[in-house]
Amino acid sequence: MTEKPVVLMPEDIQRIMGKDAQRNNILAARMVAEMVKTTLGPKGMDKMLVSPTNEIIVTNDGVTILEEMQIEHPAAKMMVDIARTQDSEVGDGTTSVVMIAGKLLENAERLLDKKIHPTVIAKGYKIAAEKSQEILNEIALKIIPDNDDILKQVAMTSMTGKGAESSKEKFADIIVKAIKQIQTDGKIDLNDIKIEKSKGDGMADTELISGIVIDKEKISNDMPPVVNGARIVLIDFPLELKNPEIDTKISISSPEQLQGFLNQEERLIKEMVSKVKDTNANVVFCQKGVDEFAQYLLSKSGIYACRRVAKSDMEKLAKATGGKIVSNLNELSPSELGFAETVEQIKHGDDSFTYVRGCRNPKAVTILIHGGTSHIIDEIERAFKDGLGVVASSLKTRMVVPGGGAIEMELAKRLRTFGQSLNGREQLAVEEFASALEFIPSTLAENAGLDPIDVLTELKSKHDAGERNAGLNLFNNKIEDVLAARIIEPYKIKSQAINSASEVANMILRIDDVIASNGKGKSGSSMRTEMNEEF
């Protein structure tokens, strides 16, 4: 009698087990960290990413690079995820978090080689991460929310070395002003800050507008260029009779019939426009199309109108002006109107924008980014998002830390002292955790063309001597008190990064079996080929 084989899984399932799975995952994660490493810090380089459709992105932003790379390896994807979390939670520090996680795993390999069990390493890392949070809380600097100067410094530190560098002082000022304006009862919703982009002038022309700017011009030249005391109608239905995308056929057999038809059409449009006029509005923002005859009638009545306004802009306009978006002609009434002091068309380069200023809701603000090319504008936008993120985060926690690797050095030092109280194996893990944090200052040095070992040695001796704010100042390449050099970061950048990095490292360490269906996760990834070479 022949025994039937036991089939647990279908044949196309791929499985890697034990050490292979572990080393394979660790390698993939390390490769992700290697990839972004050269962009870290003010002297970091940019990357140019070219999409299959030949669109180009030039960036220094960790999360943008990783997202555009379309990474497929499952462990590498987990690294991309922590960069994303860092981006949504803090808005900055995406390169750092990935680098720390990669280094934690690299150092874990050394311990694995010494036959220390992965769960012991994971436990040691967890202890170290918790202790780090404790130390961070203890040594972070408390700030008062009124200290605009500190907030500006935090914004500038996050923008140093980005495309926005040359105007960072002005941008920091815009960021702090914008956030202060939208803040209510200590709460900040960054969605309240609209970012609009204009190609043409230089980045130094970037401006903060108290109000909403939309990238639409008035429909007709005959409409007034400025409306003071704006009474605004917001509609999301078209001011036209038929959907122009659908061809309708009507059969007409006599000139009278045609005239009759046209008359009726005119009459209906007239009715629509007069309903708008009846509300006593002098500005119309329409999410859909506006018929030519309607344009003529609106112009004749001195009404400023924009058509095909984006839905998101309509919502922002509603919030800013206190108006309601009306979906039905018959619901139009004066009570649905929004208000603003002025609505005005302003031209920048080839594009015209509509500025809605002096809104009823003072929380409405727009940052209008100017720049010579769309690549520059996009990178400035990313820098603004980082800056907005760090200032909001600093205000939320009211805590900041010194940058330039200073906080990482101090954490490492204190972790090592703490490690001495633990048993041998955990102590080793805590030590590796500490040296993973030092990867940040050493890379800042390396990317600036300095000798990382010299820099680390000097930093260590200064911290041992009690200089807790000693960091690498890359404005002058000196090791000194970075707080005095105004290199400051939000506390949350570090606490979030340490949390996420240690969590993902521990998760990857504990995996010793990778089961992938349809061959996905094993093949189809360009990383896979490179990794095989190493085994």
Positions marked catalytic: 61, 94-95, 386
Are the beta carbons of 402 and 482 closer than 8 angstroms? yes
Judging by beta carbons within 10 Å of its beta carbon (0-12, 13-18, 19+), is residue 455 exposed, middle or buried?
Answer: buried
Partner interacting with residue 62 (select from Mg ion, ligand ADP, none; CB below 5-8 Å by kind)? ligand ADP
3-state secondary structure of 311: helix
- φ, ψ for residue 91 (rounded to 5)? 90, 0
Min. distance of Cβ 313 from Mg ion in angstroms? 29
Taking CB under 6 A as the binding criterion, the range among 86-94, 181-189, 329-337, 372-380 that sits at the site for ligand ADP is: 86-94
| Separation between Cα atoms, residue 212 and residue 367, nearest integer Å | 9
Partner interacting with residue 354 (select from ligand ADP, Mg ion, none; CB below 5-8 Å by kind)? none
DSSP characters for 171-205?
Answer: HHHHHHHHHHHH-BTTB--GGGEEEEEEESS-GGG
Helix ranges (H only) for 140-278 are 148-159, 168-182, 255-278
Min. distance of Cβ 395 from Mg ion in angstroms? 18
Region 166-185 residues binding ligand ADP, contact defined as CB under 6 A: none
| Separation between Cα atoms, residue 68 and residue 392, nearest integer Å | 26
User: For ligand ADP, what does the binding mask look like between residues 59 and 78, x meaning CB under 6 A?
Assistant: -x-x----------------
Partner interacting with residue 41 (select from ligand ADP, Mg ion, none; CB below 5-8 Å by kind)? ligand ADP
* Near ligand ADP by CB under 6 A: residue from 22, 85, 157, 206: 157
Region 413-442 residues binding ligand ADP, contact defined as CB under 6 A: 440
Partner interacting with residue 419 (select from ligand ADP, Mg ion, none; CB below 5-8 Å by kind)? none
Which of these, 239, 325, 309, lies nearest to 274 by C-alpha position? 239
* Near ligand ADP by CB under 6 A: residue from 59, 96, 496, 525: 96
Min. distance of Cβ 278 from Mg ion in angstroms? 53
Q: Any residues with CB less than 8 A from the CB of 78 and at least 6 apart, and which?
A: 29, 504, 507, 508
Region 30-59 residues binding ligand ADP, contact defined as CB under 6 A: 39-42, 44
User: For ligand ADP, what does the binding mask look like between residues 100 and 139, x meaning CB under 6 A?
Assistant: ----------------------------------------
Q: Any residues with CB less than 8 A from the CB of 390 and at least 6 apart, and which?
A: 90, 91, 92, 154, 155, 157, 158, 489, 490, 493
Min. distance of Cβ 132 from Mg ion in angstroms? 20
Partner interacting with residue 442 (select from ligand ADP, Mg ion, none; CB below 5-8 Å by kind)? none
Q: Which is nearer to ligand ADP, 323 or 441 (CB)?
A: 441
Q: Is 455 in the site for ligand ADP (CB under 6 A)?
A: no
Which residues of the chain form contacts with Mg ion (CB under 5 A)?
Answer: 92, 158
Are the beta carbons of 118 and 112 closer than 8 angstroms? yes
Partner interacting with residue 409 (select from Mg ion, ligand ADP, none; CB below 5-8 Å by kind)? none
Are the beta carbons of 322 and 361 closer than 8 angstroms? yes
3-state secondary structure of 346: strand
* Near ligand ADP by CB under 6 A: residue from 403, 419, 452, 490: 403
Angle between helical axes of 491-509 and 74-89 (0-180°, round to 10): 160
Q: Any residues with CB less than 8 A from the CB of 292 and at least 6 apart, and which?
A: none
User: For ligand ADP, what does the binding mask look like between residues 228 and 247, x meaning CB under 6 A?
Assistant: --------------------
Min. distance of Cβ 444 from ligand ADP in angstroms? 5
Min. distance of Cβ 424 from ligand ADP in angstroms? 32
List Cα–Cα distances, 111 to 17, 30, 131, 359, 432, in angstroms. Answer: 19, 16, 20, 61, 9
Q: Is 474 in the site for ligand ADP (CB under 6 A)?
A: yes
Beta strands in 224-308 (DSSP E): 226-235, 283-286, 304-306
Q: Could you list the residues that contact ligand ADP (CB under 6 A)?
A: 39-42, 44, 60, 62, 92-96, 157, 160, 403-404, 440, 444, 472-475, 487, 489
